[in-house]
Structure 1
Amino acid sequence: MGFKKTIDRWQNSRTKCLWQMTLSQRRNPYAVLKMQEIMEQELALSNKELLRVRQAALHQLFEKEYQQYQQELRQMGKAFYVERM
């Protein structure tokens, strides 16, 4: 759910930036350069955030599968060896 919201927000801000960029091109070329720079920074940040969200989702998936595997082994009367310190 969080992944979809992040994607939607990114698409909305991209659409707004493109719309503003077309308006600004007629007014001030320096504003266009500034807008492009801001857009590149936001895109880089959103890519980093998207990577974090995907990594967290993958971590949760691995943890869930690990728990399920442990439960299946317990049902068969087996278990993982865990060294405690």
Structure 2
Amino acid sequence: MSTEKMTRVEENFQRALGLKKMVDRWHSSHTHCLWQMTLSQRRNPYAVLRMQDAMEQELALANKQLLMVRRAALHQLFEKEYQQYQEELRQTGKAFYVERL
């Protein structure tokens, strides 16, 4: 694997870790919103509606971020398996055809 690809994979992995932390923060914010809703449910029904809207938006963003994290992890897994497959072929004296420009 070239240095550029390794750098790109490492950057994707670091981005995935950052996104996972963001999803965790959103999850704790969601828990906080649920707690606030139970406290203010009887006092202000409009505040409850605003919180519900905010929760729906946060969940949609969290789902998008989780999808990005899963894609990055899957990409990293494919790269690892590709390297392993190349090594196995190299050990048997075979290789992939790579067109050089």
TM superposition score normalised by structure 1: 0.87
Aligned residues: 85
Gaps of 5+ in 1: none
- 1:6 touches 1:50 (CA, 8 Å); kept in 2? no
Question: Once the two structures are superposed, what CA deviation does each residue of 1:12-65 show, in whole Å capped at 9, x if it has no partner?
Answer: 222111101111212211100000000000000000000000000000000000
Measure how far apart 1:8 and its partner are: 3.8
Gaps of 5+ in 2: 1-15
Aligned AA (1:50): L
Q: Which of 58, 69, 72 is 1:42 aligned to?
A: 58
**Distance (whole Å) between structure 1 residues aligned to residue 97 and residue 57 of structure 2:** 47
Aligned AA (1:12): S
**Distance (whole Å) between structure 2 residues aligned to residue 37 and residue 84 of structure 1:** 54
37-46 vs 24-33, which moves further: 24-33
Highest RCO, 1 vs 2 (Cα 8 Å, sep ≥ 6)? 2
Measure how far apart 1:77 and its partner are: 0.6
- Is 1:79 the counterpart of 2:95 in the alignment? yes
Alignment of 1:11-50 (within 5 A): 11-50=27-66
Measure how far apart 1:7 and its partner are: 5.4
Q: Which runs of 4+ in 1 moved over 4 A?
A: 3-7
Percent identity over the alignment is: 78
